[in-house]
């Protein structure tokens, strides 16, 4: 990382969720549709006192929120911006170009998103956080009443009769399938310019200039935009959020571990219980407690459970510790060489939380998964690029040419890639699983801009 201590942005103008991971145990993610501009402005105005900026807090707020606007939401305020934003944001995640990467087919098809409700009607997403259930509920009530007063309608995520998208608090730092999550995120420093002239900045893909829009002189590697003119001013100090609700099929996942455990025992010995955990670790690249396989190849370890400082090339060039298509190795291959056309490795800020109670065996019924908030400065260059890698792993010479093995956990098995999973154990020893099941189903996706505080005041009709 090449960071300067003096970034040019003001933390007070940036929504807090972009620059810091919240650890509030309770959150609710509310979707809205606007009726008209005055109502939309009144709604945002009513929420402004609760919007958390990135200014450091001395006492953690008991309750707070952040606001995202979709392209259709922005048009409610600024109809003149029709052609000013990048096409993937304007056209939406269901559009043909975005779907080339996301490949939501079958049960994930965009026609099924939000239980068949109109995807284009989502104009605004409000992310509400609370230290306690009561604190959360009280702010959710404020948001819901402000919506009603301003003719803003709430869209419930799984249909008009469904519950709101609420974090499942008892899992704490863990997500469904039993893994610890939110361990590794970009450093968000600011790039240095050792040579002096702009245009020669030394930037790391994890630097904040790859997430915050509006700093062309800081040389982002992924082309965030818009940068200039009125839309550039509107977007400055904002960040995109690929908001994706992903159902996790716990029954299919657990059954896969059980069914495949004997194959693992035959290859490496030990008990079937150990084999299930070993297999779960190989799918993700970390043991369920968080230990990376590169640092703790044989068993989980409490001292490495939050480790982020490791590389693949010196320590695991052949993938004997962490398979090449393990989810976290695909989602961040670190120093592993990628093809020039795909370089640099895209990074994402992850702010997701689990929803739904863990379904109980033997039937594993019930809706649960991940409320995914994937933040980036360029939806196509970062979020969609990574998704295309997950669906069709052709991004590095580590994968056999033409084979395009998929991400072991995430990929849509109906997509173009190869759903097999190879676990290399030693030079002449490997396990090959011919076809992985579908573990994840997309329930809905919305691309939002998390605008600056100044832009929120502007759309609320207040002087900036």
How many whole angstroms separate alpha carbon 279 and alpha carbon 366?
A: 25
Exposure of 293 by Cβ count < 10 A (0-12 exposed, 13-18 middle, 19+ buried)? Answer: buried
**Those residues with Cβ within 8 angstroms of residue 5's Cβ, 6 or more apart along the chain or in another chain:** 190
One residue of 75, 171, 331, 349 binding ligand HEM per CB under 6 A:
331
The token pair at 302 is 């409490």
Residue (231 or 345) nearer to ligand HEM, CB: 345
| Residue 328 binds ligand HEM (CB under 6 A) | yes
| Residue 322 binds ligand HEM (CB under 6 A) | no
Virtual torsion, Cα 166, 167, 169, 175, nearest 10 deg: 140
User: Interface with ligand HEM by CB under 6 A: which range of 148-156, 204-212, 295-303, 370-378?
Assistant: 370-378
How many whole angstroms separate alpha carbon 195 and alpha carbon 316?
A: 35
Residue (44 or 411) nearer to ligand HEM, CB: 411
> Least distance in Å: CB of 90 to ligand HEM?
20
One residue of 43, 324, 355, 374 binding ligand HEM per CB under 6 A:
374
* Residue in 387, 377, 383 with CA at minimum distance from that of residue 407: 387
- State the Cα angle at 70 between 120 and 211, rounded to 5°: 145
> Least distance in Å: CB of 304 to ligand HEM?
12
Contact (CB, 8 A) for 169 and 136: no
Contact (CB, 8 A) for 439 and 249: yes
> Least distance in Å: CB of 388 to ligand HEM?
10
| Residue 387 binds ligand HEM (CB under 6 A) | yes
> Least distance in Å: CB of 182 to ligand HEM?
5
One residue of 105, 115, 153, 182 binding ligand HEM per CB under 6 A:
182
How many whole angstroms separate alpha carbon 448 and alpha carbon 85?
A: 12
The token pair at 231 is 């839309």
One residue of 51, 279, 281, 410 binding ligand HEM per CB under 6 A:
410
How many whole angstroms separate alpha carbon 252 and alpha carbon 239?
A: 35
The token pair at 372 is 């995914």
Distance, C-alpha 108 to centroid of its chain: 17
3-state secondary structure of 73: helix
| Residue 248 binds ligand HEM (CB under 6 A) | yes
Contact (CB, 8 A) for 62 and 26: no
Residue (76 or 391) nearer to ligand HEM, CB: 391
User: Interface with ligand HEM by CB under 6 A: which range of 16-24, 211-219, 260-268, 364-372?
Assistant: 364-372
One residue of 24, 119, 286, 457 binding ligand HEM per CB under 6 A:
286
**Which x/- pattern, by CB under 6 A, does the window 418-457 give for ligand HEM?**
----------------------x-----------------
One residue of 85, 113, 114, 179 binding ligand HEM per CB under 6 A:
179
Contact (CB, 8 A) for 410 and 327: yes
> Least distance in Å: CB of 57 to ligand HEM?
24
> Least distance in Å: CB of 7 to ligand HEM?
22
| Residue 246 binds ligand HEM (CB under 6 A) | yes
* Residue in 101, 110, 45 with CA at minimum distance from that of residue 462: 45
What is the DSSP code (8-state) at residue 389? H
One residue of 77, 177, 256, 287 binding ligand HEM per CB under 6 A:
177
User: Interface with ligand HEM by CB under 6 A: which range of 9-17, 21-29, 182-190, 396-404?
Assistant: 182-190
Interacting residues toward ligand HEM by CB under 6 A: 175, 177, 179, 181-184, 246, 248, 284, 286, 327-328, 331-332, 348, 350, 369-370, 372, 374, 383, 386-387, 410, 440
């Amino acid at each position: 990382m090449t960071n300067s201590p003096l970034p040019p942005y003001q933390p007070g103008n940036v929504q807090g969720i972009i620059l810091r991971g919240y650890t509030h145990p309770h959150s609710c993610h509310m979707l809205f549709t606007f009726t008209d501009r005055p109502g939309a402005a009144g709604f945002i105005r009513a929420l402004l006192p609760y919007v958390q900026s990135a200014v450091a807090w001395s006492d953690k707020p008991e309750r707070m929120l952040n606001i995202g606007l979709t392209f259709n939401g922005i048009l409610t305020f600024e109809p003149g911006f029709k052609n000013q934003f990048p096409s993937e944001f304007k056209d939406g995640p269901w559009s043909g170009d975005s779907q080339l990467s996301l490949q939501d087919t079958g049960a994930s098809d965009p026609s099924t998103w939000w239980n068949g409700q109109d995807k284009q009607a989502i104009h605004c997403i409000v992310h509400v956080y609370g230290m306690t259930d009561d604190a959360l509920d009280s702010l959710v009530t404020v948001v819901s009443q402000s919506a009603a007063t301003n003719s803003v309608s709430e869209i419930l995520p799984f249909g008009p009769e469904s519950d709101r998208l609420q974090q499942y608090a008892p899992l704490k730092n863990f997500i469904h399938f039993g893994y610890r999550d939110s361990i590794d995120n970009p450093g968000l420093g600011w790039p240095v310019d050792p040579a002096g002239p702009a245009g020669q900045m030394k930037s790391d893909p994890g630097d904040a200039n790859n997430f915050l829009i509006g700093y062309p002189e800081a040389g982002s590697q992924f082309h965030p935009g818009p940068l200039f003119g009125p839309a550039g001013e509107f977007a400055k100090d904002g960040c995109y959020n690929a908001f994706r609700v992903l159902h996790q099929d716990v029954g299919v996942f657990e059954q896969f571990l059980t069914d495949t455990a004997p194959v693992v025992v035959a290859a490496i010995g030990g008990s079937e219980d150990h084999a299930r955990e070993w297999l779960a670790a190989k799918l993700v690249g970390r043991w369920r407690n968080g230990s990376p396989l590169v640092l703790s190849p044989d068993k989980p370890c409490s001292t490495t459970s939050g480790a982020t400082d490791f590389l693949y090339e010196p320590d695991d060039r052949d993938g004997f510790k962490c398979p090449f298509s393990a989810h976290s190795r695909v989602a961040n291959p670190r120093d592993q060489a990628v093809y020039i056309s795909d370089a640099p490795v895209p990074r994402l800020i992850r702010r997701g939380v689990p929803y739904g109670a863990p379904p109980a065996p033997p039937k594993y019924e019930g809706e649960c998964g991940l409320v995914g908030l994937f933040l980036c400065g360029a939806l196509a260059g970062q979020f969609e690029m990574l998704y295309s890698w997950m669906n069709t792993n052709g991004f590095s010479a580590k994968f056999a040419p033409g084979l395009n093995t998929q991400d072991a956990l995430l990929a849509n098995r109906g997509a173009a890639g190869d759903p097999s999973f190879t676990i290399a154990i030693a030079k002449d020893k490997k396990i090959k699983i011919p076809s992985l099941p579908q573990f994840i189903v997309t329930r809905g996706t919305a691309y939002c801009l998390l605008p600056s505080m100044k832009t929120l005041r502007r759309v609320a009709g207040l002087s900036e």
